[in-house]
Structure 1
Amino acid sequence: MSSLLRWDPVREFEEFGRRMAPWFGRRGKETMREGEGAVTIFDWSPSVDVAEEEKDYLVTAELPEVKKEDMKVTVENGVLTISGERKKEREEKEGVRYHRIERCYGSFLRSFTLPEDADPASVKATMKEGVLKVRIGKRPGTPPKAVPIGTE
């Protein structure tokens, strides 16, 4: 008599994801449960908007549940970097059993090359209600010069 194994298509996709993660620079951090239905938590990347205004540039990042002391904003060699970590609550509540965890936890890092007219010395960052706003002032520059086109 042969034994039958129950096929779980979701498990096949999870295994495929685990095998492909290193190729995309992502690695599993921890597993919530062992065995069937295990969930691996990966590093994540916050959503970011980049806008240009008349006098400055504005980078807005969604960072819910990230504390100000768990993140860092740096400017080096013309690159703005936002990095940090969203920490998972470690408190185990009695009688609570998770069936799905979709929020991401772990470290993050986003880097942006600054435009030539950005002034790295003017960078200011503020955090309010889980939204980080980074303002980068523009250097006063010379206005564009019209170049006359001659004939040969």
Structure 2
Amino acid sequence: MSLIRRSDVFDPFSLNLWNPFQGFPFGSGGGSLFPRVSSGSEAAAFAGARIDWKETPEAHVFTADVPGLKKEEVKVEVEDGNVLQISGERSKEQEEKNDKWHRVERSSGKFLRRFRLPENAKTEQIRASMENGVLTVTVPKEEAKKPEVKPVQISG
């Protein structure tokens, strides 16, 4: 029996590209267990900024883990009227001449995530807040329109 992780589920609204080899120890990693990602890549470093998307009766709520970032280092934008874009950058720690690094596991670099919003999203009313390294973006939904029922007279 195989288990399905949430990250393995296909999401038709996500604009992320799937990389079947992501996380494997080959490529330009120079023998490291963790592959290096070029700094020019949009999907660089802490790239995958983990984001949950849930839908409530009133809104679509996106929750992103962005530890160590200030709100000024994160951008939330709406592109083309219905694409939510969340991006940011974590700067590399300054290296002093006399520093001797034993291990570097915390990643730095840019991240960019895009989500195609459903038609019922009120993009002009989006709210975003950040607390303790967690970004929450709330996209209100339009109320579902109830179908208008019009009686028709039966002749005869």
Amino acid at match of 1:83: S
In the aligned structure 1, how far is the partner of 2:60 from the partner of 2:48?
21
Two-structure CA RMSD over aligned residues (Å): 2.8
State the secondary structure of the residue aligned to 1:60.
strand
Counterpart pick for 2:77 among 74, 77, 100: 74
Are 1:124 and 1:135, in contact at CA under 8 Å, matched by a contact in 2? yes
Counterpart pick for 2:28 among 13, 18, 21: 18
Structure 1 residue runs without a partner (length 5+): 1-12, 20-25, 31-40, 146-152
Structure 2 residue runs without a partner (length 5+): 1-23, 30-35, 149-156
Q: Please identify, of 77-86 and 96-105, the stretch whose mean Cα deviation from structure 2 is larger.
A: 96-105
In the aligned structure 1, how far is the partner of 2:78 from the partner of 2:96?
39
- Which 4+ stretches in 1 moved above 3 angstroms? none
Matches within 5 A, 1:43-122: 44-77=47-80, 78-92=82-96, 94=98, 96-122=99-125
Q: Give the deviation of 1:137 after TM superposition.
A: 0.1
Tell me how many residue pairs correspond in the alignment: 116
Q: Deviations over 1:6-56 (max 9, x none)?
A: xxxxxxx86x4218xxxxxx94239xxxxxxxxxx8462200100011101
TM-score (normalised: structure 1): 0.66
Q: Give the deviation of 1:93 after TM superposition.
A: 7.5
Q: Deviations over 1:41-81 (max 9, x none)?
A: 84622001000111011000000111211121001221000
Identity of aligned residues (%): 43
User: Whose Rg is larger?
Assistant: 1
1:143 aligns with 2:146: yes
